[in-house]
Amino acid sequence: MRGLFRAFINSCRGFRAAARTEEAIRQELLVLAVALPAAFVLAQDAWKRLALVGVLLLLLVVELLNTAIEKLADRISPEDDLLIGRVKDMSSAAVGLAILLAAIIWIATFAEWLGVI
């Protein structure tokens, strides 16, 4: 039980540090705060609400991993390095795909709510 509690504390500490230092994390938290009530308006089924909120939580997870990779890469080599640059680009691409997935799900749900599809 102690290990679980320590893991929780470390997670909170990491999340707080990311929110303090990363604008993208703060923006995504703001989107999540607005989207949470919107999910209950747009979707009547619990699984659709879960999909709408879940995809934004997934985006936040990917953004946290991207931030961790970038911070670690900068710590390993603050100089420009082609391979480290590629790694950072790949983690950024993962964020881009997560944003695309979230946009597709939210747009489809909104279109259905409007009766377009």
Q: Could you list the active site residues?
A: 63
State the Cα–Cα distance between residues 113 and 43, nearest whole angstrom: 7
The closest of 64, 51, 65 to 108, measured between CA atoms, is 51
65: enclosing H helix or E strand: helix 46-76
Please check whether residue 73 is in contact with residue 85, taking contact to mean a CB–CB distance below 8 angstroms. no
Angle between helical axes of 2-21 and 46-76 (0-180°, round to 10): 80
